[in-house]
């Protein structure tokens, strides 16, 4: 991969990182505000804790992607970005465009989803 492409993906990853970071911190702030609101009755509180649980499950997924994005950025710096971390083959360009933080090529990804691949 040439440096132009590295720059392209670095930019994409940085944008995604910023976006995820915003969402994750917003969720955390919402959680704190809901806790501090003492005017709620019991029904409100129940609804709130449900919403919170939902938001936190959302945000743990986002946190996970954020971690993948950080790892991908580290691979850009090392110059190994764009290669499958498992079989070391080049990852399809189309796949990188869609999911630039992906760690695996499509065939390793499929194996991983079936539980056939060691991390
Ligand atoms: Zn692979």
Domain boundaries, the chain: 1-81, 82-119
Give the N- to C-terminal CA distance of the chain in Å, as an integer: 24
Measure 38 CA to ligand 1 centroid, in angstroms. Answer: 52
Structure pTM? 0.78
- For residue 81, the CA-to-ligand 1 centroid distance in Å is 13
> What pLDDT is attached to residue 30?
79
> From the CA of 90, how far away is ligand 1's center (Å)?
8
How much distance in Å is there from the Cα of 37 to the middle of ligand 1? 49
Question: What are the backbone dihedrals phi and psi of residue 39, each rounded to the nearest 5 degrees, phi first?
Answer: -85, -5
Q: Does the pLDDT of residue 35 top 70, yes or no?
A: yes
The 3-state DSSP class for residue 102 equals coil
Q: What is the pLDDT of residues 68-105, one digit of tens each?
A: 999 999 999 999 999 999 999 999 999 999 999 999 99
* Residue 41 burial class via C-beta count within 10 angstroms: exposed 0-12, middle 13-18, buried 19 and up: exposed
Out of 1.10.10.10, 3.40.50.970, 2.40.33.10, 1.20.120.910, select the CATH number for domain 1-81: 1.20.120.910
Spacing, Cα 93 to ligand 1 middle (Å) = 14
Q: What is the pLDDT of residue 89?
A: 96
Q: How far is the CA of 15 from the centre of ligand 1 (A)?
A: 26
Mean predicted lDDT score pLDDT of the chain: 89
**pLDDT exceeding 70 applies to what percent of the chain?**
98
* pLDDT bracket for residue 119 (50, 70, 90): low
Provide the CA 12 distance to its chain's centre, in angstroms.
13
Residues with CB under 5 A from ligand 1 (ion): 84, 86-87, 105, 108
> How many Å lie between the centroid of ligand 1 and the Cα of residue 86?
5
């Amino acid at each position: 991969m040439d440096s132009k492409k590295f720059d392209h993906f670095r930019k994409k990853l940085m944008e995604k990182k910023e976006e995820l970071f915003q969402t994750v911190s917003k969720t955390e702030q919402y959680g704190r505000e809901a806790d501090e609101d003492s005017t709620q009755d019991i029904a409100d509180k129940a609804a709130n804790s449900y919403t919170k649980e939902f938001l936190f499950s959302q945000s743990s997924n986002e946190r996970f992607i954020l971690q993948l994005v950080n790892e991908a950025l580290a691979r850009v710096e090392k110059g190994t970005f764009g290669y499958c971390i498992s079989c070391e083959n080049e990852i399809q360009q189309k796949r990188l465009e869609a999911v630039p933080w992906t760690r695996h090529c499509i065939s390793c990804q499929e194996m991983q989803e079936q539980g056939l691949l060691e991390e």
